[in-house]
């Protein structure tokens, strides 16, 4: 928890005022038994109604002041803790935005969600409790013990002996329960990860009628989480009964011994009543302390998990922006590029091996190959979604790792395999990379992407709301919106990663024709499965098992590259075969 102290500093006034009000509340609570003893000793025993009346009014006033200070403490503690939690969530979210794909692959999205929600709530609740209970419980405990000792030292020794026993018991309980809370959060990570994966792939689950299978998998992780939660709850549950039992035993001993002292006139009745009240206050504060100690253990685990995220260094470092760091992207060069998701340099782990090629402005580079050959991995290296494991990528003769990351990505338009759309309007999705774009710019990009016609036919046009992940649009419509989003920023490098797979041949041809003029102003990378999609590219790279096994035009590759010939033969005779043969090389 101490590692998160920075985020409470902006609210130091509330942090001071909350405990201060609590100190006053405890002070007033400690006065009540003393006032009650005064009533018994001098009012009841002495049969003096005036003392009873006057002291009774004092008790009402003290109770009211205790109420006011308690409300004040709760107000300031709530303000501090809620703002504290909100700031940590914002910092976590900002930190996650700096993570590379490799960081996210390592930590897992489900775990990050748990840390931003459940773990933040744990430390937030602890802060609320700390500003109230961590002041009240110790203050009330110490104050009650001191007041009890002042009343009678012999009775006080019984109370002190009991406290020593209780402290030992509580320390042992917390020591054994701490590892359980860590396991609870890990199992909760698994539940969230399973939920996230299932909801993201719900269509696949329904299509393959695998709901029962997914339910079984969820039941397993849910049962694991439930079992460890129950185990942890057992330690929490036995805290209160143990404390209550020991304190009640102490109370019985005090009543027996104290009653004897009253009998021999060594202690006044009112003092014994006050002493018993202080013992009850000690019991109350101890129950509070035991609960706080459990919360400390839980919050400490959560704080550690939060700190792990905040302390994680992005695996991708970015250079500081320089005045002359603008990218023209006239030329790009891959030199002996090797890549592994595990960062291993062993041949068996490499997804890409010894990739070498060059491309210049105005050139369209198509990449084709079997599924899993490394096509998408190759283009993801250009905007540094991942960093190369070996070799280098240069733009205009400068290593991309020496180019500020923001500057690099602002000049690259990328359409990923999955056309992800955000909740909001179609216009917002197209203008995602350029929020200040005019309506004319948005429509111009949509027209090039062959999206304007279908958008215009929608009831609300560009203001049409997009459901979560574009649920209310077809695959082809989502792809065209994603392409328009990439085109709007007028990138120096355009990457289309199998982004026309959901389009019919006619629409794809119209799109390709409309892109011709734009391709003269940038370097374009096209990943496709269909020969028809890459036939007009000036350069086609054929990738097989992570290596480039062929490079050239469609005509050249048909003569020289066996892998390309196999791909062509596998597609020959399909609906698009005649279309392919009609193309001009």
Residue 158 has which token pair?
Answer: 């019984």
State yes or no: pLDDT of 189 exceeds 80. Answer: no
Is the pTM above the cut of 0.85?
no
How far apart (Å, rounded) are the C-alpha atoms in residues 351 and 339?
A: 6
Give the residue among 348, 329, 328, 345 at the shortest CA–CA distance from 337.
Answer: 345
How far apart (Å, rounded) are the C-alpha atoms in residues 424 and 466?
A: 5
Distances (CA, A) of 305 to 3, 124, 309, 310: 11, 14, 7, 9
Please report, rounded to a whole number, the percentage of residues in the chain having pLDDT higher than 70.
91
State yes or no: pLDDT of 561 exceeds 80. Answer: yes
State yes or no: pLDDT of 579 exceeds 70. Answer: no
How far apart (Å, rounded) are the C-alpha atoms in residues 486 and 494?
A: 8
Give the residue among 459, 455, 457 at the shortest CA–CA distance from 428.
Answer: 455
> pLDDT tens-digit profile of 353-372?
999 999 988 888 999 988 88
> pLDDT tens-digit profile of 36-83?
777 777 776 667 777 878 888 888 898 899 889 889 888 998 888 888
Strands 390-395 and 331-339: antiparallel
Predicted confidence at residue 3, as pLDDT, reads 64
550-570 mean pLDDT: 87
320-333 mean pLDDT: 69
How far apart (Å, rounded) are the C-alpha atoms in residues 212 and 222?
A: 15
How far apart (Å, rounded) are the C-alpha atoms in residues 83 and 92?
A: 14
Across the chain, mean pLDDT equals: 81
Which letter does DSSP use for residue 10 in this model? G
Q: How confident is the model at residue 216 (pLDDT cuts 50, 70, 90)?
A: confident
Please report, rounded to a whole number, the percentage of residues in the chain having pLDDT higher than 90.
8
SS3 call for 376: helix
How far apart (Å, rounded) are the C-alpha atoms in residues 239 and 234?
A: 9
All structural domains of the chain, each given as residue ranges with its CATH number in brackets, are 2-189+234-311 (1.20.1560.10), 325-411+492-585 (3.40.50.300), 417-490 (3.40.50.300)
Q: How confident is the model at residue 275 (pLDDT cuts 50, 70, 90)?
A: confident
Q: How confident is the model at residue 8 (pLDDT cuts 50, 70, 90)?
A: confident
Higher per-residue pLDDT: 177 or 260? 260
How far apart (Å, rounded) are the C-alpha atoms in residues 220 and 205?
A: 18
The beta strand positions in 209-351, using DSSP E, are 331-339
Give the alpha-carbon dihedral of 326, 331, 335, 339, to 10 degrees: 60
State yes or no: pLDDT of 581 exceeds 80. Answer: no
146-170 mean pLDDT: 81
> pLDDT tens-digit profile of 84-135?
888 888 888 888 888 877 777 777 777 788 888 888 888 888 888 878 777 7
The answer to whether residues 283 and 244 touch, using CB atoms and an 8 Å cutoff, is yes
Question: Chain centroid to CA 372: how far?
Answer: 30
């Amino acid at each position: 928890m101490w590692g998160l102290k920075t985020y409470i500093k902006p609210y130091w006034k509330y942090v001071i005022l909350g405990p201060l009000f609590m100190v006053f509340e405890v002070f007033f609570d400690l006065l009540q038994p003393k006032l009650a003893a005064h009533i018994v000793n001098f009012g009841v025993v002495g049969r003096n109604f005036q003392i009873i009346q006057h002291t009774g009014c004092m008790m009402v006033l003290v109770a009211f002041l205790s109420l006011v200070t308690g409300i004040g403490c709760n107000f300031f503690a709530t303000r501090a803790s809620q703002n504290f939690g909100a700031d940590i969530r914002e910092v976590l979210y900002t930190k996650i935005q700096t993570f590379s794909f490799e960081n996210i692959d390592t930590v897992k999205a489900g775990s990050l969600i748990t840390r931003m929600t459940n773990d933040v709530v744990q430390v937030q609740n602890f802060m609320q409790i700390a500003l109230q209970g961590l002041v009240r419980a110790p203050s009330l405990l110490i104050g009650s013990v001191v007041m009890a000792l002042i009343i009678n030292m012999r009775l006080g020794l019984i109370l002190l002996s009991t406290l020593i026993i209780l402290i030992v018991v509580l320390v042992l309980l917390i020591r054994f329960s701490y590892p359980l809370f860590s396991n609870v959060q890990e199992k909760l990570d698994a539940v969230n990860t399973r939920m996230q994966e299932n909801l993201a792939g719900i269509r696949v689950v329904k299509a393959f009628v695998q709901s029962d299978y997914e339910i079984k998998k969820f039941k397993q992780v849910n049962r694991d989480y439930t079992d460890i939660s129950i185990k942890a709850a057992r330690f929490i549950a036995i805290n209160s009964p143990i404390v209550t039992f020991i304190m009640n035993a102490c109370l019985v001993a005090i009543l027996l011994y104290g009653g004897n002292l009253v009998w021999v006139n060594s202690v006044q009745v009112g003092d014994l009543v006050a002493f018993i009240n202080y013992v009850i206050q000690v019991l109350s504060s101890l129950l509070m302390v035991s609960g706080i100690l459990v919360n400390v253990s839980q919050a400490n685990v959560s704080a550690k998990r939060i700190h792990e995220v905040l302390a994680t260094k992005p695996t991708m470092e970015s250079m500081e922006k320089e005045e002359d760091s603008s990218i023209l992207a006239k030329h790009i060069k891959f030199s002996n590029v090797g890549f592994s998701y595990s960062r291993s340099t062993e041949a068996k782990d490499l997804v890409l091996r010894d990739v070498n090629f060059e491309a210049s402005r105005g050139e369209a580079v198509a990449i084709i190959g079997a599924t899993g050959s490394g096509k998408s991995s190759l283009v993801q290296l250009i905007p540094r979604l991942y960093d190369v494991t070996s070799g280098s990528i240069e733009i205009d003769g400068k290593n991309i790792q020496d180019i500020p990351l923001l500057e690099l990505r602002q000049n690259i338009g990328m359409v990923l395999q999955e056309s992800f759309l955000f909740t909001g309007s179609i216009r917002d999705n197209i203008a995602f990379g350029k929020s200040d774009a005019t309506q004319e710019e948005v429509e111009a990009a949509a027209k090039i992407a062959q999206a304007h016609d279908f958008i215009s036919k929608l009831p609300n046009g560009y203001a049409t709301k997009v459901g979560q992940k574009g649920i209310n649009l077809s695959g082809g419509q989502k792809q065209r919106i994603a392409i328009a989003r990439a085109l709007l920023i007028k990138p120096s490098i355009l990457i289309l990663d199998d982004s026309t797979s959901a389009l019919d041949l006619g629409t794809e041809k119209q799109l390709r024709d409309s892109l011709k003029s734009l391709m003269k102003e940038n370097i374009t990378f096209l990943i496709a499965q269909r020969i028809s999609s890459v036939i007009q590219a000036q350069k086609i790279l054929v990738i097989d098992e992570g290596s480039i096994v062929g490079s050239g035009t469609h005509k050249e590759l048909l003569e020289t590259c066996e892998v390309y010939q196999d791909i062509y033969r596998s597609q020959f005779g399909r609906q698009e075969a005649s279309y392919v043969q009609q193309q001009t090389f």
